[in-house]
Amino acid sequence: MKQTFVTSMNRVVRAALILWLTAMVSVGSAQEATVSYTLDNVILDDNNAQMTGIFSWTYVIGDFENGIGQFNSLDIPFTSHDQTDLNATIAVLESIEITFPGSVHDDGVDITLVLLQPLTPTTSSLINLVATETLNESKYEIGGNGFHTGLFLSGSISPINSAIDIEKLTNGNQADAADDPDVPHIAQGMTVSWTYEITNTGESAISESEIAVSDNQPGVVPVMDTGSDAGGDMILSPGEIWTYTASALALDLENPPAGVIIVPGCNDNRNTYQNIGTVEVVGTTVFDEDMSHYCNSMDSDNDGIPDNQDNCILVPNGPLAPDAGGNSQLDTDGDGYGNLCDGDLNNDGSTNTLDLNLYKQAHRTSLGDANYDVDADFNGDGQINTLDLNIYKGLHRLPPGPSCCAP
């Protein structure tokens, strides 16, 4: 019986410990947010003096009313006391009490600002000026420079403007619309790099824990570049810019995976990848988003080399269609034009009789022969013969190329 009791007690203790640890983990992982408020047009009925101040309210998201408030600045008429020595009790649903211990008649402060409605992270409240059955009036008693007591003529408590901006880049380009000229052309399997520039365009600082940056495309997860935090304090100050990045391999946009957003674009109704970057201030309605795009590079000759990387755009000479010598993108004179589309043997910009004469000198030679001209071996098989002559005939009187890469 004694053993049973001890075992039962152990179970109770163990269960209690698990509950306590769970609660601690939950509290530790709770996400916090901070919003700043300003005292707007708070006018005393004594000589129309104005009271000003800014306070911050830090709270666990989902539990706004039980946060913690602190004045960052406070200027009260008729006294030298400020936020450094005054006591402030802030209840965002009801009122703000500001006091200084001691006799009001000597050097004390006792101020009550009664809210007409609860504050929220994005909405303000007037202060109550006239007592009702349910609300007291806002009032003050201030000593130290004479004795001042009375009511307020006007005033409100307002959240300081928070605003945030995101600019999203694809491979360094804005590419905002699908047909914009700066939309990058990226071959399938090549790396796509996204940059998300986050700017605090508001009036109040925002902590890193309050900022959420996301992308609407599956598998794209922006990560903060901590080196972009100029102050190294994880606080995005007004005007400061942070950078987030993400990368992936370019998809085959003709056969995209499920969930990927495809739109017509690139000025030829080609399948174009579209994704939207979003930044939000957590726990508020403050957010911004920006769209960006890319399309796959065209491969006009279907040789496995996209046009923007192909030294013979209209003549197959890539890995899917190598030349007779098994070469891909063979360019023996290094002028940016592949041999299969470059009959300009003297590199004067045109293919004419001068080039034909050079070809004749090399005709019927092979690699190692004295007159062998590697540039005239158009198909790269080590022999200059009728096959090369037929290729040259198709190039005669035409400029070399077209090529992606010629100067």
| Better pLDDT: 187 or 181 | 181
Residues 65 and 95 in one domain: yes
Are residues 291 and 170 part of one domain?
A: yes
Instruction: Answer for the pair 320, 304: CB distance below 8 angstroms, yes or no.
Output: yes
pLDDT by residue (tens digit) across 71-103?
A: 989 999 999 899 999 999 999 999 999 998 766
Q: What pLDDT is recorded for position 29? A: 54
Alpha carbon distance 79, 110 (integer Å) = 11
- Residue pointed to by tokens 């703000």: 96
Above 70 in pLDDT, residue 207?
yes
Q: Kindly state whether residues 274 and 327 are assigned to the same domain.
A: no
Characterise 392 by phi-psi region: left (phi > 0), alpha (psi -120 to 50), beta (else).
alpha
pLDDT in the model for residue 363: 97
Mean pLDDT of 387-394: 97
CB-CB contact of 371 with 357 (8 Å): no
Q: Verify that 182 and 129 share a domain, yes or no.
A: no
302 found inside a domain: no
Residue 284: what pLDDT?
76
Is 374 found in the same domain as 341? yes
Torsion angle, alpha carbons of 198, 200, 201, 205, to 10: 170
Beta bridge partners of residue 366, listed in sequence order? 383
Please check the confidence at residue 357 and state whether its pLDDT lies above 90: yes
Among 270, 211, 221, residue whose Cα is nearest residue 242: 211
pLDDT at 144 (0 to 100) = 73
On whether the CB atoms of residues 282 and 61 are closer than 8 A, the answer is yes
Distances (CA, A) of 49 to 54, 76, 95, 120, 234: 17, 9, 21, 28, 38
Spatial distance between the Cα atoms of 177 and 179, rounded to a whole number of angstroms: 6
Query: CATH code at 373?
Result: 1.10.1330.10
Which residue bears the tokens 């919003």? Answer: 35
Question: What is the pLDDT averaged over residues 145-171?
Answer: 92
* 40-59 pLDDT, tens digit each: 999 999 999 999 999 999 99
Token match 């009032």: residue?
Answer: 139
246, 274, 295 — which closes off a domain?
295
CB 158 within 8 A of CB 124: yes
Cβ-proximal residues to 346 (8 Å cutoff; 6+ apart), any chain: 354, 355, 358
**Token pair for 216:** 């609407």
Domain interval for residue 221: 164-295
Same domain, 78 and 136: yes
- Pair (37, 82) in one structural domain: yes
Residue 189 — very low, low, confident or very high, per pLDDT cuts 50/70/90? confident
Q: How does pLDDT run across 60-75, given as a tens digit for each residue?
A: 888 999 999 999 899 9
Where does a domain end: 243, 260, 295?
295
- Number of domains, the chain: 3
Using pLDDT thresholds of 50, 70 and 90, give the confidence band for residue 281: confident
- Are 151 and 232 found together in one domain? no
228, two tokens: 């972009």
Residue 22 in domain: no
At 288, which CATH number?
Answer: 2.60.40.2410
In a domain, 6, yes or no: no
Confirm whether 352 is domain-assigned. yes
Give the integer Cα–Cα distance in Å for 187 and 310: 11
Is residue 404 included in any domain, yes or no? no
d(CA 114, CA 95): 4
Would 254 be classed as within a structural domain?
yes
Residue 400 lies in a domain: no
Res 8 pLDDT > 50: no
41/77 same-domain check: yes
Whether residues 179 and 149 fall in one domain: no
155 and 171 inside one domain? no
Which of the four pLDDT bands, split at 50, 70 and 90, describes residue 23? very low
* Tokens (6 digits) for 143: 């000593």
Averaged confidence pLDDT in the chain: 89
Report DSSP letters for 166-222, one per residue: EEEEETTB---STT-TTPPB--TTSEEEEEEEEEE-SSS-EEGGGEEEEESSTT---
Q: What is the pTM of this model?
A: 0.59
Alpha-carbon dihedral 300, 306, 308, 309, rounded to 10 degrees: -130
Does pLDDT of 209 surpass 90? no
Is the pLDDT at 1 greater than 50? The verdict is no
- CA angle in degrees (0–180, nearest 5) for 262-266-269: 65
Residue 22, pLDDT > 60, answer no
What is the chain's length?
A: 407
pLDDT of 27 above 80: no
**301 found inside a domain:** no
Q: Is the pLDDT of residue 4 over 70?
A: no
Confidence of residue 276 (pLDDT cuts 50, 70, 90): very high
Amino acid identity for residue 196 in this structure: Y
CA dist 162 → 198, 201, 204, 215 (Å): 13, 7, 6, 22
Q: Using an 8 Å Cβ cutoff, are 276 and 290 in contact?
A: yes
Highest-pLDDT range among 59-68, 122-131, 240-249? 240-249
Average pLDDT (322-332) is 97
* Same domain membership, residue 261 and residue 197: yes
| Last residue in a domain, options 136, 159, 182 | 159
Q: How far apart are CA 298 and CA 293, in angstroms?
A: 16
pLDDT of residue 3: 37
